[in-house]
Amino acid sequence: MPPFQLASREYKAEDTIIDLGTAAVGSGSTLIIAGPCAVESREIMIELAPVLKNMGVHVLRGGAFKPRTSPYSFQGLGEEGLKILNEVGRAVNLPVVTELMDVRDGELVYRYTDIIQVGSRNMQNFTLLREVGKMNKPVLLKRGLSASIEEWLLAAEYILVEGNQKVILCERGIRTFERYTRNTLDVAAVPAVKQLSHLPVIVDPSHATGRRELVAPAARAAVAAGADGLMIEVHPDPQNALSDGCQSITPQELAKLLQSVKGLEKYKFS
């Protein structure tokens, strides 16, 4: 057995399919998670959510606690952001996902969300991984900034070993010498992980590129490489977004992106 035993194909040969209520991931179709980087206001979320729903988005995203590089950047609305995300998601019948940064906020985030995200900076926060492993909700585990594929799968193992089998892996780019893009999208990691593990793998082209004009082509590459889904940052006014506006696309741009990825599923790795 490889070091990541429960996550491995040797342990489970067939793909894991995770039921998200109104959608599923790992079933062969492409899951679309979309929404703003951060929940900025109730008004923006009320405006955006029904538009995304009507486009065919399956999960609504939005950060309530934002791990920003600078302490002076917008840090999110906290519990108020969680309440807004929950309210708007219920109104349009979409499951919601947000990031849990601290074990002290575990009960709060669990109460308001359907999918709990562990961000790249916390991929090896083993206390946090064990805590979400005890929760009965899907966990979206982002790859660390400089994590190898094996380290990423071992992080998933920490969740699995606690009993939570609903782990969704998210490739979001890794840090390399390249500075033109925010990170370097490791497209090869998608088919590689699909060979090594039964867990579903999605891709976040927004964080991977950091440039809105590159989100769509990176998304198409991810789906063609076999990704089970996409996680995309969408904002009605990216220029004035409080967080990550440079990598956020508009709803109109998302509509074009979704149209362009249709039919690419036939190229998925099998």
What are 14-49's pLDDT values in tens digits? 999 999 999 999 999 999 999 999 999 999 999 999
The CATH code of the domain that includes 80 is 3.20.20.70
Integer angstrom CA distances of residue 141 from 123, 156, 158, 204, 264: 7, 7, 11, 11, 24
- Cα(94)–Cα(20) distance, integer angstroms: 9
Cα R_g (the chain), whole angstroms: 17
**Rounded distance, CA 169 to CA 197, Å?**
10
Is 27 exposed, middle or buried, given 0-12, 13-18 or 19+ CB atoms closer than 10 A? middle
**What sign results for the dihedral spanned by CA atoms 252, 247, 63, 203?**
positive
Tell me the C-alpha to C-alpha distance, in Å, between residue 236 and each of 48, 49, 174, 207: 7, 11, 27, 18
* Within-domain flag for 117: yes
Q: Is 136 exposed, middle or buried (0-12, 13-18, 19+ CB in 10 A)?
A: exposed
DSSP string, 21-80: SS-EESSSS-EEEEE-SB---HHHHHHHHHHHHHHT--EEE-BSS---SSTTS----THH
Average pLDDT, the chain: 95
**CA dist., res. 189 & res. 194, Å (int):** 8
As a whole-number percent, the residues of the chain with pLDDT over 90 amount to 90
Q: Read off the pLDDT band of 1 (50, 70, 90).
A: confident
* Residue 3: inside a domain: no
Number of domains making up the chain? 1
Q: What is the pTM of this model?
A: 0.95
pLDDT at 270: 45
Residue 209 and residue 56: Cα distance in Å, rounded?
Answer: 23
pLDDT for 269:
47
**Partners of residue 118 on adjacent β-strands:** 141
Q: Is the pLDDT of residue 75 over 90?
A: no
Q: In the predicted model, is pLDDT for residue 193 greater than 90?
A: yes
| Residues 157, 5 contacting (CB under 8 angstroms) | yes
Integer Cα distance of 2 and 45 in angstroms: 43
Q: Is residue 94 part of a domain?
A: yes
**pLDDT above 70: percentage of residues in the chain:** 98
Domain ranges, residue 193: 18-267
Q: Look at residue 42 and tell me if it is in a domain.
A: yes
Q: Would residue 142 count as lying in a domain?
A: yes
For residue 218, what are the CA distances in angstroms to 15, 117, 144, 159, 206? 24, 21, 19, 29, 9
Question: Does residue 265 have a pLDDT over 90?
Answer: no
Stretch 90-107: mean pLDDT: 96
Q: Is pLDDT above 80 for 241?
A: yes
